[in-house]
Amino acid sequence: MTIRQMTLNDYQAVYQLWINTPNMGLNDVDDSKDGIARMLKRNPTLSFVAEVEGQKGRHIVGVIIAGEDGRRGYIYHTAVDVAYRNQGIGEALVNHVMDAMKALSISKVGLFIFQRNEIGNGFWERLGFSVRDDLYYRNKAIIELERIDT
């Protein structure tokens, strides 16, 4: 397995991985090719893909999308192909992001995850990400987003 920085050329393979991963919480704007292009332009060193060699050449089996605002880091989407889970790929992707954040002097990283995503919540808990129950997450849509069910 190889982990490298994600590029926009990876979008189609990453999107296929996302739509085949339950509970991704995708939408038609932020997770479109244009949305990911904006993210990668703003944070070029913080998103990674995991690749393996297969019968048809190298293919993406994991991805993590992350960004920072100069003060805090955020992880947005993390996915590993079901056939490749429990092999340390997700943890390796997270470690790459954490190292990249540290290199940018980011001292704290947060993420949002749906409560119903039991597999994801277990993963993040095992990696030491705690649940905050002392605050509310609030948002307001500037434009209407269409959710993409996965």
Q: Answer with the residue of higher pLDDT: 81 or 147.
A: 81
- What integer pLDDT is reported at residue 25 of this predicted model? 86
Per-residue pLDDT tens digits for 13-53: 999 999 999 888 899 999 999 999 999 999 999 999 999 99
- Give 2-148's CATH code, choosing from 3.40.50.300, 1.20.1090.10, 3.20.20.70, 3.40.630.30: 3.40.630.30
**What is the rounded CA–CA span in Å between residue 49 and residue 33?**
16
- Dist CA 73 CA 94 (whole Å): 12
Listed in sequence order, the residues at least 6 apart from 89 whose beta carbon sits closer than 8 Å to its beta carbon are: 1, 50, 61, 62, 80
Say whether 128 sits in a helix, a strand or coil.
coil
Q: Is the pLDDT of residue 101 over 80?
A: yes
Query: What confidence category does residue 150 fall into, taking pLDDT thresholds of 50, 70 and 90?
Result: low
**pLDDT score of 96 more than 80:** yes
Closest CA to 64 of 52, 82, 76, 55: 76
Domain ranges of the chain: 2-148
